[in-house]
Structure 1
Amino acid sequence: MLKIGIFAALSLLSVVSAEFASQQFNEFANRSKGHTNNWAVLVDTSRFWFNYRHVANVLSIYRSVKRLGIPDSQIILMIADDMACNPRNPRPATVFNNANQHINVYGDDVEVDYRGYEVTVENFVRLLTGRLLPSTPRSKQLLTDEGSNILIYLTGHGGDGFLKFQDSEEITSQEMADALEQMWQKQRYHEIFFMIDTCQAASMYERFYSPNILAVGSSLVGEDSLSHHVDPAIGVYIIDRYTYYALEFLESVSLDSTKSMGEFLQVCPKRVCISTVGVRNDLFRRNPYKVPITDFFGSVRPIEFIEELVNTTLVPYEQTKIVGNDISKFKYVPPLTFT
């Protein structure tokens, strides 16, 4: 009797497992139609003047994705400290990522969505998962769907399994992984490219378990990420090594570029980065070398083609014009219309 009961239980378990697998397959099939839009979430988690480079990091990526077509309405920019307005900045209203001052990455059209003490772990997680108050302005919301490819870029100070926010709190790798899983379950993304420039960066993506995520970190567990160079006029490091070489690569990318994500993942070999760049692609279904870099750093804009003939013929007709006591008729050509 006991053997029969065990056999029945195992049979039921097999049926449940098969049904679950079938549901998972159907979910992937329904969500594999391709992506239709691009978003970017760019976060600097550091405060204080000596962390100038972290603001330069995030603004450099911001400038690149805007140049490649992602509009401000689809970029969430979080900056914990505004270096452009810092009283120690000898060039007010500017942020440079190079000592030669080639590019002012602050520019004149930067739209910061979360500033200063708004850059918290709670706000970041709520942003990703969509658990914001109804009164939250549209500009502070991540309005993604199952067709959205999302670039998530983080920079700041981190350790083994955590990233600090403003030296007062931290987000752990497990919290990050759970937030992404909530996004997947709520159909808030199609694919994610997770990019982090911090010490022991690879530890932040080790616990990911949601599908369609490609991740890269500037350093492995136990390694520090290093700065690139100092600007003597400012007296601090102004960009980190990994982001510096990533930006150098992105500057060569155009809207019709054939460069791939696989190439981008190789931008900072150890001989120049000093730290070891880590990559995780086991959750990602596509070959990174066959994924255009513009799938994450550019913008997809659906176009609907109409095969029907369009009549654009302009038909002039007579119209009467009265000026004082004079009545005259003239040919009137209407504005261009489509039928």
Structure 2
Amino acid sequence: MKLLFIFLALSLYLLQVECYRRRAYTRLGLVEDDDDYGESSSENDDAGEIWALLVAGSNGWYNYRHQADVAHAYHTLKQHGVKEDNIVTMMYDDIANNQQNPYPGQLFNSPNGKDVYKGVKVDYKGEAVNPQNFLAILQGDESGVSGGNGKVLKSNEKDKIFVFFSDHGATGLIAFPSSMVNI
């Protein structure tokens, strides 16, 4: 009986995750299958573009998953048609070539998965992954960023913005590698 309850709870959870994923994809105009998601983004060109800010708010080998998840999100967005120029990536970038990495120069976000580090364009690394740059990038303020390549979101009122922030946090708190922000 206990095993059945666990199975049902897990099934319900996975169904809920899939529903949230589909809803998010639909809102962003990311379509895997027109039958499943409704109108495709190519039929809705007047809706603007998709811009993305991907952030791994931690560093250190023990936080491997945060940078691997950001790298995976980068490839997922590109596979769904988001332009590389519209994706801004912030990650400390100390994991792929970490001395503890048994696969130098590679990151994986699932067992036996593909290298998600290959091909990722990291716009802000090291100390440039900070709250000030995060806010300046979101606001499209090129003069407000320091370090990195200066890339910001150049969105307009028709565009959609996707922010993926992978890290530890708590109510009213956002963590970055060398600082935390209370909100």
TM-score, normalised relative to structure 2 = 0.69
Q: 1:40 is matched with which residue? A: 52
1:97 aligns with 2:103: no
1:77 aligns with 2:98: no
Q: Which has the higher contact order (CA 8 A, sep 6+)?
A: 2
For 1:40 and 1:114, the matched residues in 2 are separated by 14
Contact 2:60-2:94 within 8 A present in 1 as well: no
Decide whether aligned partners of structure 1 residues 150 and 134 sit closer, same or farther in structure 2, where only a CA change above 3 A counts. Answer: closer
For 1:72 and 1:139, the matched residues in 2 are separated by 15
1:58 aligns with 2:51: no
Deviation per CA, 1:225-245: give whole Å up to 9, x if none. xxxxxxxxxxxxxxxxxxxxx
Q: 2:181 is matched with which residue? A: 171
Contact 2:136-2:144 within 8 A present in 1 as well: no
CA drift at 1:91: 0.7
Letter matched to residue 38 of structure 1: I
1:153 aligns with 2:156: no
1:120 aligns with 2:101: no
For 1:105 and 1:119, the matched residues in 2 are separated by 20
CA drift at 1:138: 7.3
Quote the RMSD (CA, aligned, Å): 2.2
Deviation per CA, 1:69-126: give whole Å up to 9, x if none. 11211100100233111111111111011222x211112x211101111000001111
Gaps spanning 5+ residues in structure 1: where?
A: 1-33, 174-339
Deviation per CA, 1:164-201: give whole Å up to 9, x if none. 111x322233xxxxxxxxxxxxxxxxxxxxxxxxxxxx
1:67 aligns with 2:79: yes
Contact 1:48-1:81 within 8 A present in 2 as well: no
Contact 2:137-2:152 within 8 A present in 1 as well: yes
CA drift at 1:128: 1.0
3-state SS, counterpart of residue 115 of structure 2: coil
Q: Percent identity of the aligned residues? A: 35
Gaps spanning 5+ residues in structure 2: where?
A: 1-45
3-state SS, counterpart of residue 41 of structure 1: strand
Q: 1:8 is matched with which residue? A: none
Give 4+ residue runs of structure 1 displaced > 4 Å after superposition.
Answer: 134-139
Which entry has the higher C-alpha Rg, 1 or 2? 1
Q: 2:16 is matched with which residue? A: none
Decide whether aligned partners of structure 1 residues 134 and 116 sit closer, same or farther in structure 2, where only a CA change above 3 A counts. Answer: closer
Query: Equivalences for 1:1-339 in 2 at 5 Å?
Result: 35-100=47-112, 102-107=113-118, 109-133=119-143, 140-166=151-177, 168-173=178-183
For 1:153 and 1:110, the matched residues in 2 are separated by 15
3-state SS, counterpart of residue 54 of structure 1: helix
Contact 1:77-1:114 within 8 A present in 2 as well: yes
Paired residues, number: 138
CA drift at 1:37: 0.8
3-state SS, counterpart of residue 140 of structure 1: coil
3-state SS, counterpart of residue 133 of structure 1: helix
Decide whether aligned partners of structure 1 residues 118 and 138 sit closer, same or farther in structure 2, where only a CA change above 3 A counts. Answer: closer
TM-score, normalised relative to structure 1 = 0.38
Kindly indicate which of the two structures has a greater share of residues assigned to helix: 2
3-state SS, counterpart of residue 60 of structure 1: helix
Kindly indicate which of the two structures has a greater share of residues assigned to strand: 1
